[in-house]
Structure 1
Amino acid sequence: SSLRSKVPSTVSDETLKYLLTAGTDTLSEVRNQVLGALKTLYAGAIAENALESARAKLRSIVDSVASSGSIANAVYELANAYLRPNQVIDEAQTEARRQKAMQEVAPVMLSVVEDQVVLQKGEIVTAQHILILKALGIVAARSGWKVWVGIFMLVLLETALFSRLARRFNRAEPEFDNNMLLALVFLLLLATGLARVFIIRPLSPYIIPVATLGIVVAIILNARTALLLVVLSSFNIGLLTNLDMRYSAVGVMVGGLTLYFVSRRVTRRTGLIGAAVVAMVLAALTIFSVELFAEAQAGEALRASAWGLANGLLTGLLGILLLMVLETAFNLTTPLRLLELADPAHPLLKKLMQVAPGTYNHSIQMGNLAEAAAEAIGANPLLARVGAYFHDIGKTVRPEYFVENQIYVDNPHDQLSPGLSKLAITAHVRDGEHLARAYGLPRPIVDIIKQHHGTSVLAYFYHKALQSAKDGAVYEESFRYQEEKPRSKEAAIVMLADSVEAAVRALENPTRRKIQAVIEDVIRQKVEDGQLDESALTLDDLRKIREAFDASLLGLVGHRIR
């Protein structure tokens, strides 16, 4: 064992036994061949990563010169024990000499004069071309997967921040829900994607229509959220243009100023054309100012401001397109869409006018009442008016069951039990909801249709049932609408306007005192019955609604020509 410890590990026990029993001539032959093989190998270069190749060469040399297999194995195992790399890379010295060589190379300066052709069509692009194009800003210096991963992560964080702030800013907005939030996030991501397209030459980042976001979001929600989206989108433009804040500044200024000047004035889709003109002028002026601030020549600044004209044109076109997409894909209720729904030529309103003219006239009168009341309490008057127009569209299914449409026809309820009459009357709510969804009406209008009766009692048929019941076992709950109570101020206003208009229309010789009494009685009954509990209406709101109804119904009071 003491001998084994002194022998290299590459020598096997069989070789060791062979050498111990070999004669002097054999040992001398083994020694000479070991030295010769190592001398041959060390005459060449042996790197650290080429050690296995050197061992293979050693095996080949030994096999060619040994007189027997035993001697060959002994020579190979002994020589292998002393085989080492004779070339090792000195990293420190290599780096030092590389740096020294770089410092000794004189910098190469390239000059590019105005109107000089840097690269022609069909010419092979070299590294020198790339350097020149980068220096001129034609090819972005920031590229690669790391940059794009960074931008992607920043946009994700930005989206999370925007979602949080949008929820906080719009807690009191009835239009704000998950659907609206999804639409806003879609706009933010779309703006970033369009910005990436518009920064590609020969286009300019100045053409990015940030003002479109401000106008569209102000129309579908409010100006505060629109301004937040404008700022974040302008920040993204800076990220995509190598942190060039000129383009971000133009985005914020043009988007914010356009939002300030035109957001409240766009009441028709054609109004977006006026917004485009305003954006065009503002963009041109802002770009010109920013270029002068960046010490550009006046001529260059003027040429750059021409992109502002294209910016304004895109603002109008994209605004119209985005509103159509958002209203369709996300079923949003924009003022422009509500105005279109208020058109008497709408198929449902035309059907209501033809099939149930009494209900149509009732709905138009209700629209005036609802709009005035909504204005008085700061609710959405346009939504209240359009909701009133459509609230009874379900009556087109069985118009003859409603008294306002019973012209020259018998009352079908005379032949029905109170229970069946109740079913026929209450069905118009579900029929209306079905028609509204079939015609693609926005969700707030559908909600008004569902909620405009709440869980009110059909008093006439309830009392009729009491009179006809022999044992008196008639339950009030059996004669209630089984629907949702109003959950918005507009739905509650429509409920009150519905009852007030019908009650006032039924008055004989209406006077202002009688009308005021009816209004007071209707509101009191709805409050006591709990129909307004979920609507967020306050006592002060109810006072203002009462006064608005009173003022709107003054036209019914006065002398009539007989």
Structure 2
Amino acid sequence: MVFSRWGQTIREYLDDARFRENNRIRLIIYLALGVVMFAILVGSILPPRYHFTIGQTSPVTILSPITTVDTAATQAAKQAAEQKVPKQYEQSTQVETDAVNQVDTFFATAAQVVSNKSMPSSQKLDTLSSAAPKGVSQPTLQALLTESPAQISALQKDADRIVNDLLGAPFYQESMQQAGLLVDRQLLNNFDLDQASRLIVQNVVVSVLKPNMVYQADATERARQQAAATVPDVMIHQGDLIVSKYGIITASVLSRLQDVGVYAQHPNYGVAVGFAAFIALSIGLLAAYVERRSPRRRLDNLMLIILGLVFVLMSILIVLTKWVANTAGTTSVAYVLPISLGAMLITVMMDSSLAVVASFYFSFLLGASLSFNYDFVFYGFVASLVGAYSVAKVTSRGTFMRAGFFVSLMNVGAVITLHLLQTNHNEDFHSFSLHIGLAALNGIIAAILAMGVLPFFETAFGLLTPIRLLELSNPNNPLLRQVLMEAPGTYHHSLIVGNLAEAAAEIVGADPLLCRVGAYYHDVGKTKRPAFFVENQMTKENPHDKIAPSLSHLIITSHVSDGLEMQKKAGLPKPIQDICATHHGTTILWYFFNKAKELDKNGTVKVDDFRYPGPKPKTRECAILMICDAVEAAVRSMARPTPNRVEGVIRKIIRDRLQDGQLDECDLTLQDLDVMIAAFMKTLKGVYHSRIEYPDIDKLRKEVAK
């Protein structure tokens, strides 16, 4: 009960003209729409950001949003190329010279020591030991002292020869590990020495050997840099798989996430600011278009809220599509997004021209959320335009399904077109066929959602759509059945007024369906006291003859307020209620005014006391119903309705309404009123046409019997 009262209060506030025409509220609606759309869509526009750690399992499949360099793989390839470059060395002759000098000095000292007979043996050993290269063993020194000077000289020559052979060629640090083996090979192959001499020469030569290949660090680095420079960059292409769902985050995966810009703790604020500007420009241009529309098509604040809700609905669907695409790891799911839903709803609830403008926004938002992909902009625009034009004239809910099939057909055509426009044709047949199937399903889903969402807007906002009007025109509607059963004359009168109003609305560009259905309900208040209205009086007895004119005035005029009360209780939309409230405007009940004036002896009767309470019509539909109601009643009361007399009555009624100011607040022009007369005449010919006078059947039978 509480919720019902709250709902009624909200509905009354939304229907209040002070709310609908308030410019400050209008500005707030535009600002709120921009803020809400930014809040909804910014997450799908910003590149995704992930903060994984090595060893963590990825909850989603991540594809590269851009084409960029794989820094880790490129670095690894460069390092591999550098490692293949050998170290750069330069052979030094000084090493050979120094080694030979050491050998010569050592053997010369040995020859002097051996030749000196006066030197004690211990001193000889010490002297020789001090001159020996580092690494010469004591046994070698002692063995050398036992040799003669001539033998020492021969050993010197052999040692010099071996040193020259080994150090005359490249001798690396690695060769030092095999120095003894190399010297032994020289001794065995090229010299015929005894065991003692061989050991002396081997020990001395090995002691003086040093690498003669000097490492060139700068040259090596230059060679490696040149090798690395020739290695091409390893690329990550847009759409490449970075990590699959439930995949393990490794160091290489983490590096690739950083390379494509999706690994960060903070969002890209530059993109956020740019998107905010994008939304601001979009809402600004939309507002400029809406506000510059002609007064007849201007949206009040309630309709502006409904337009904003459609934009919000489409934004939510786009975000959901982006989320599913990220989860599935493919953008193919976007082809099933019912992007034409928004255009369909706007066309049915407002008009197709506004839906065309909205189609631009929906398609651009779709493309922006999917990495600014032009293909989806084109696809969304085609679907939205076709959806808008397909439901321009709704005659039943089946219109939506026909529109859905047409949207599906055009979607398939758009997918084929985009496929043919590709230059590389990398898309395989499976993906292409999948896109075709999803595009074909798209229109059907949009039609089903449109039929499901539309009743929400109709109920929540009292919105009057063609579907709602068609439902209200059903004769089985409780209010219409009540009129038929309790006031059949009024029911017949309402049908004829509906025909007149529909014909007039079509010719002046008003809403024919609203006029016809509004006519059906404009006199429901007469069911409260049907006998007091002439069309329901079955006999010549008129109850007004027995009551005062002032009371008759109250009874007659109360059918407007009674009708409004019944319509509000039945939940009829406000445009129908407005037709009921204004179908008499503030016109005067001249019949009862004249009657009261005849009975008034004091001259106190005022004409304004016999006016309807109003208000005056504010829309073309309300004004058309006012004129049609008066025209039907006047023509029906004519004894002999000829075309000229009928046209004269119609023109008089219109002239009276103009002179009385009843049409001052609506936008019907004099040209509209003039062309309406022709529509009235054409319709009335089929209702009040002249008929032949049939003879008296009983009289003829008697004559035949005679």
Output aligned runs, 1:378-393, within 5 Å. 378-393=509-524
1:144 corresponds in structure 2 to: 267
1:237 corresponds in structure 2 to: 366
Q: 1:177 is matched with which residue: 286, 291, 300? A: 300
- Higher-Rg member (1/2): 2
Is 2:316 the counterpart of 1:193? Answer: yes
2:492 corresponds in structure 1 to: 361
Query: Could you tell me how far 1:124 is from its partner in structure 2?
Result: 3.7
Q: 1:537 is matched with which residue: 668, 671, 695? A: 668
2:409 corresponds in structure 1 to: 281
1:163 corresponds in structure 2 to: 287
C-alpha spacing 1:467/1:267, structure 2 compared with 1 (3 Å): same
Q: Secondary structure at the match of 1:193?
A: helix
Q: Secondary structure at the match of 1:379?
A: coil
Q: Secondary structure at the match of 2:494?
A: helix
1 CA distance for matches of 2:263 and 2:359? 24
Q: Secondary structure at the match of 2:285?
A: helix
1:252 corresponds in structure 2 to: 381
Q: One-letter code of the match for 1:293?
A: L
Q: Is the 8 A contact 1:159 1:185 kept in 2?
A: no
Q: One-letter code of the match for 1:178?
A: N
Is 2:250 the counterpart of 1:119? Answer: no
Structure with the larger RCO, 1 or 2 (CA within 8 Å, 6+ apart): 2
Q: Is the 8 A contact 1:288 1:302 kept in 2?
A: no
Q: One-letter code of the match for 2:484?
A: M
Output aligned runs, 1:326-405, within 5 Å. 326-405=457-536
Query: Could you tell me how far 1:129 is from its partner in structure 2?
Result: 4.1
2:356 corresponds in structure 1 to: 227
1:557 corresponds in structure 2 to: 689
Q: 1:266 is matched with which residue: 362, 387, 394? A: 394
Query: Could you tell me how far 1:408 is from its partner in structure 2?
Result: 4.6
C-alpha spacing 1:142/1:304, structure 2 compared with 1 (3 Å): farther
Q: 1:438 is matched with which residue: 558, 562, 569? A: 569
2 CA distance for matches of 1:111 and 1:239? 22
Q: Is the 8 A contact 2:391 2:399 kept in 1?
A: no
Query: Could you tell me how far 1:103 is from its partner in structure 2?
Result: 12
C-alpha spacing 1:481/1:109, structure 2 compared with 1 (3 Å): same
Q: One-letter code of the match for 1:283?
A: N
- 1:107-155 deviation line (CA, Å, top 9, x unaligned): 995899x99995364x544464467689999x89999374567546643
Query: Could you tell me how far 1:293 is from its partner in structure 2?
Result: 2.6
Q: Secondary structure at the match of 1:486?
A: coil
Q: Is the 8 A contact 2:366 2:376 kept in 1?
A: yes
Q: One-letter code of the match for 2:585?
A: G
C-alpha spacing 1:186/1:353, structure 2 compared with 1 (3 Å): same
State the superposition RMSD in angstroms. 3.2
C-alpha spacing 1:160/1:324, structure 2 compared with 1 (3 Å): farther
C-alpha spacing 1:110/1:426, structure 2 compared with 1 (3 Å): same
Q: Is the 8 A contact 1:191 1:233 kept in 2?
A: yes
Q: Is the 8 A contact 2:391 2:400 kept in 1?
A: no
1 CA distance for matches of 2:412 and 2:265? 28
2:221 corresponds in structure 1 to: none
Query: Could you tell me how far 1:485 is from its partner in structure 2?
Result: 0.9
- 1:449-471 deviation line (CA, Å, top 9, x unaligned): 11110110011110010010011
Q: One-letter code of the match for 2:282?
A: E
> Gapped runs of 5+ residues in structure 2?
1-74, 80-227, 695-706
Is 2:438 the counterpart of 1:307? Answer: yes
- 1:334-382 deviation line (CA, Å, top 9, x unaligned): 2222222112112211111111111111000111111111122222211
Query: TM-score scaled by structure 2?
Result: 0.60
- 1:300-354 deviation line (CA, Å, top 9, x unaligned): 3333222202312221112112222222222222222222211211221111111
Q: One-letter code of the match for 1:430?
A: S
Query: 296-305 or 479-488: which moved more?
Result: 296-305
Q: Secondary structure at the match of 1:172?
A: helix
1:211 corresponds in structure 2 to: 340
Q: 2:421 is matched with which residue: 265, 290, 293? A: 293
Q: One-letter code of the match for 1:119?
A: S
Q: Is the 8 A contact 1:223 1:259 kept in 2?
A: yes
Q: Secondary structure at the match of 2:295?
A: coil
Query: Could you tell me how far 1:258 is from its partner in structure 2?
Result: 3.8
- 1:498-522 deviation line (CA, Å, top 9, x unaligned): 1111111111132223222221221
Percentage of identical aligned residues = 36
C-alpha spacing 1:140/1:440, structure 2 compared with 1 (3 Å): farther
2 CA distance for matches of 1:489 and 1:142? 59
C-alpha spacing 1:432/1:237, structure 2 compared with 1 (3 Å): same
Q: One-letter code of the match for 1:245?
A: Y
Query: Could you tell me how far 1:429 is from its partner in structure 2?
Result: 0.9
2 CA distance for matches of 1:128 and 1:346? 70
C-alpha spacing 1:115/1:214, structure 2 compared with 1 (3 Å): closer
2 CA distance for matches of 1:178 and 1:500? 35
Q: Is the 8 A contact 1:169 1:225 kept in 2?
A: no
1 CA distance for matches of 2:287 and 2:241? 49
C-alpha spacing 1:360/1:251, structure 2 compared with 1 (3 Å): same
2 CA distance for matches of 1:525 and 1:430? 24
C-alpha spacing 1:143/1:103, structure 2 compared with 1 (3 Å): farther
Q: Secondary structure at the match of 1:198?
A: helix
Query: TM-score scaled by structure 1?
Result: 0.74
Query: 472-481 or 413-422: which moved more?
Result: 413-422
Query: 495-504 or 523-532: which moved more?
Result: 523-532
Q: One-letter code of the match for 1:279?
A: V
Query: Could you tell me how far 1:419 is from its partner in structure 2?
Result: 1.1
1:425 corresponds in structure 2 to: 556
Q: 1:459 is matched with which residue: 582, 590, 613? A: 590
- 1:373-393 deviation line (CA, Å, top 9, x unaligned): 112222221111111111111
Q: Is the 8 A contact 1:436 1:446 kept in 2?
A: yes
Q: Is the 8 A contact 2:394 2:466 kept in 1?
A: no
Q: Is the 8 A contact 2:242 2:257 kept in 1?
A: no
Output aligned runs, 1:403-418, within 5 Å. 403-408=534-539, 410-418=541-549
C-alpha spacing 1:110/1:167, structure 2 compared with 1 (3 Å): closer
- 1:33-72 deviation line (CA, Å, top 9, x unaligned): xxxxxxxxxxxxxxxxxxxxxxxxxxxxxxxxxxxxxxxx
Q: One-letter code of the match for 2:486?
A: V
- 1:439-491 deviation line (CA, Å, top 9, x unaligned): 22222211111111011001111001001001122100111112111111211
C-alpha spacing 1:433/1:111, structure 2 compared with 1 (3 Å): closer
- 1:142-185 deviation line (CA, Å, top 9, x unaligned): 993745675466435533432331232353226x3211111111
Q: Secondary structure at the match of 2:384?
A: helix
